Amino acid sequence: MSDLIIRTEGLTKDYVLGAETVHALRDVDLQIEQGEFVAMMGPSGSGKSTFMNLIGCLDTPTAGEYWLNGAPVSELSDDQLARIRNREIGFVFQTFNLLPRATALHNVELPLIYAGVGAKERRKRAEAKLDLVGLMDRMGHRPPELSGGERQRVAVARALVNNPALLLADEPTGNLDSVTGAEIMRALVDLNADGQTIVLVTHEHDIAEYAQRQVHLRDGFIEKDFMKEHAGVDA
């Protein structure tokens, strides 16, 4: 059995909105092994974004336990969670979240600056990740000078620059046309083939088809969890 990257037991998240309590995630038990590519599916309000926030250490559970790479993170302080986010987790968002006035290279370097990595090593590692996503020739360009697909590739390179144990992609094709979205998904498939563990949140079935495994949430519960026979569809 491969090493577990993610293990949750009874993971629960409630939000109090005035007099109402919203049960966003209810008693979720899930294991994700190193090297898996998992798509979290579900309609709006199913709990998939809440689950992403919890495993990404962006939020803390109301109840239950979460282990990342064997380390219990459910009870960590905000500072400890921030360190784990920077070292262990790479994030790719629908809106790219790039600095518009910074070059592609500088955008990719940012997590290394926060981690205290020296300038020479920063540039070396950032260039390597831009090369990995096919953007070495665009590293001096700023986001407004790049296409949507190129911006998302910069975001992927930035997410990978700290060599994270886990890559979280939240609707990564949501702002892209279907052709460009397929290019980004094929890039993620290639990264996974090289051993990168990926958890993808999406509501689009054709995007989820690229993953090896699909976990469907509904009303905060796991409704379905299954492996695909063939992942990485041709688009």
C-alpha closest to that of 158 among 68, 84, 86, 54: 86
Whether the predicted pLDDT of 231 surpasses 70: no
User: What CATH number was assigned to the domain covering residues 4-96+166-227?
Assistant: 3.40.50.300
Alpha helices in 47-197 (DSSP H): 48-55, 78-88, 104-114, 119-132, 148-160, 178-193
User: Which tokens belong to 121?
Assistant: 């090593």
| Tens-place pLDDT, residues 86-101 | 889 999 998 889 999 9
Whether the predicted pLDDT of 137 surpasses 70: yes
| Tens-place pLDDT, residues 108-134 | 999 999 888 999 999 999 999 999 999
- Predicted confidence band of residue 24 (pLDDT cuts 50, 70, 90): very high
> Under a CB-based contact definition with an 8 Å cutoff, are residues 91 and 159 in contact?
yes
User: Which tokens belong to 8?
Assistant: 């949750």
Distance CA 55, CA 75 (A): 13
> Under a CB-based contact definition with an 8 Å cutoff, are residues 52 and 25 in contact?
no
